[in-house]
A = this chain, B = another copy of it.
Amino acid sequence: MSEAKVTILGCGSAKPTKTTSPSGQLVELCDKSFLVDCGEGVVLTMQKLGIHTSRLYNIFISHLHGDHCFGLIGLLTTLGMLKRTQPMHIYAQPDLQKLLQPLLDYHANDRLYDIIFHPINPRKHAVIFEDRTVSVETIPLKHGVPTCGFLFKETHRVQREDGSFDYETRKRYAYCSDTQYSEKIVPIIEGVDTLYHESTFLNEHGARSKEVKHSTAAEAAKIASLAHVGKLILGHYSARVEDHSLFLKEAKPIFDNTVLAEENLVFEI
């Protein structure tokens, strides 16, 4: 079985910059791919990285700000041109289908595959996906619009000494973007192997961060520390911070095992 990993397809915030595109990640667990958020350019980056979509069946959208969903229509029409026949499942708030369906009807009506929308309630912590080896739970977040993160769990079947089988959780990955500082998420993400937590601002932007309901790098690190996670990945950088190493500088004193998301990087979970 291939290793658990996450590929950063975009790690900027709403305003694109010279070095960052809007949010998107490919999470790979148990030989399956899961797309988390799909900002503009995600399908372009996937093509540039040579990422195949044949093992991608499930897309999770954290909230409906454009930098997290404008790339969906391009991805879904591209899959149509690639003659995909396997269904695609999209987990998002109900408004997404209302916004996307007219575009799909106009631009992708000749596709050979079904798109199945699964409405989710971002305010509730719940299991929204489960198969024999992977489950996904929502993580309610605090942002300007209803938003949730996603907790991915790898589950493996283990044979007991008496010959019967049990299931054990192995790798766990939590995606938390976008959110203001919220300790309410700590019990849900307690002890995960890897946490991606948004880090839009630096300490000097504290007031702005609160106003627009985002987090600073230090706040992301504090959450990582309280939740005893293995590794923290920062991302969703504001366009006003060109030098991303400043985020690391403010996070590391609080949580040492912190790394910076940058586009095209792959992290072991």
Contact = CB atoms under 8 A, between A and B. Distances in A.
Interface of A: 14-18, 21-22, 40-41, 43-44, 47-48, 50, 64-66, 70-71, 73-74, 77-78, 81-82, 95, 99, 102-103, 106-108
A219 to B, nearest CB: 23
Q: How many copies of this chain are found per oligomer? A: 2
A66 B77 contact: yes
Contacts of A82: 15
Given A40-B41, A41-B41, A66-B77, A48 B18 contact: yes
Contacts of A99: 102-103, 106
Most buried by B among A48, A66, A81: A66
22 contacts: A14-B77, A15-B81, A15-B82, A16-B43, A16-B44, A16-B47, A18-B48, A18-B50, A22-B74, A40-B40, A40-B43, A40-B74, A41-B41, A64-B106, A64-B107, A66-B73, A66-B77, A66-B108, A70-B74, A95-B106, A99-B102, A99-B106
Contacts of A102: 99, 102
Contacts of A70: 73-74, 77
A14 B81 contact: yes
Contacts of A66: 73-74, 77, 107-108
Given A16-B44, A41-B41, A70-B77, 20 more contacts: A14-B81, A15-B78, A15-B81, A15-B82, A16-B43, A17-B47, A18-B47, A22-B74, A40-B40, A40-B44, A40-B71, A40-B74, A41-B44, A64-B106, A64-B107, A66-B77, A66-B107, A95-B106, A99-B102, A99-B106
